[in-house]
Amino acid sequence: MTTASDTLMFQETRESAQVVERQLRLNAERLQRLGAQLRAEPPRFVVTCARGSSDHAASYAKYVLETQLGIATTSASPSISSVYQAPQKLQGALFIAISQSGKSPDLLRSAEAAKHAGARVLAIVNVEDSPLAGLADLVLPLHAGPELSVAATKSFIASLTAILQLVAYWKDDAAIHAALADLPAQLTDGWAADWNPLVQQLVPVSQMFVVGRGFGFGAALESALKLKETCGLQGEAFSAAEVRHGPMAIVKQGYPVLFYVQDDETRASTLEVIEEFRSRDASVWVAGPGLEGPGCLPLAAGIPALTTPIVAIQSFYRAAASLSIARGYNPDVPPHLRKVTETV
């Protein structure tokens, strides 16, 4: 009988601390040069382009770039170039394409179109000899090693880390460098976190919300995707700033909601939303550094806000692998899905 620990999803997620340590070390010299270039010739704005889990990493990138560097960051729809073939005005922009495989045709066309439109193209990619890396002006490898599970895990964690390390060198920020230096140990410790109570509660349910805000919103998006992809559970992601509006109308007694919280300016307002859900008798689960009490999932105190989603999503991935097996699925072979989706 297959157990969660037998799955590639579990085994590859377990590698995350080693992946991050290797990435931080191997990319340091490259990013030192790139950071100096970006400070000397800052882009007018940043455009991200990605699909699936990589697009959730791009959501994280938006919050990190805009809060830490004050540079406007937007997401490009690949179909604008690949389907509509509409020329864009990207002179002076930094175009960041994020991909595990670096092979998706629509992403390649978008990156090529961005170059022709005057942007510098930075590829954040796991496969260093991929077509995307070949056409990019700049390449930031993930160093995650082969990822065989259809569900991306360690490559997503590596993408968030690569984005944060890029900003650390671009901003030349000692506090971000320090947070990154602590991250491998925090991932190692976090791997032992017991989220099994959440798993047990979700085995029979068919739908739920996953809520985050700011740096944590990308983790909410990613968690909702993994619930659908590996567990056959309709997870829907919302910002804590938006979930009080229309989505609140469907919340009934016992409705499961998972919140991601980090220790920053979004904490107080997110905790208020949590209390509102509890007042409606929703089944509320919260992952936040040092939070304790009913429904609180273990996440060590003192984790900086910028790295909290990285540690939390690792714990979620482990729980998702267990939940998938408990619901009769195999997280390594989701129905109807392939590792590389070649959208045109």
Question: Residue 181: its pLDDT value, please?
Answer: 98
Architecture of the domain spanning 193-326: 3-Layer(aba) Sandwich (3.40)
Tokens at 52, concatenated: 């699936």
| Average pLDDT along the chain, 344 residues, taken 10 residues at a time | 91 98 98 97 97 97 98 94 90 97 94 96 96 96 93 96 98 98 98 97 97 98 97 97 87 96 98 96 97 96 98 98 96 70 58
Question: Residue 344: its pLDDT value, please?
Answer: 55
For the chain, the straight-line distance linking the first and the last C-alpha, in angstroms and rounded, comes to 39
Q: Is the pTM of this model over 0.85?
A: yes
Question: Residue 343: its pLDDT value, please?
Answer: 60
Question: Residue 167: its pLDDT value, please?
Answer: 98
> What torsion do the CA atoms of 230, 339, 188, 317 make, to the nearest 10 degrees?
-10
Q: Exposed e or buried b for every residue in 113-143, given b needs 16+ CB within 10 A?
A: bbbebebbbbbbbbbeebbbbebbebbbbbb
Domain extents for the chain? Answer: 4-183, 193-326
Question: Residue 334: its pLDDT value, please?
Answer: 76
Architecture of the domain spanning 4-183: 3-Layer(aba) Sandwich (3.40)
d(CA 153, CA 318): 10
| Same fold yes or no, 4-183 and 193-326 | yes
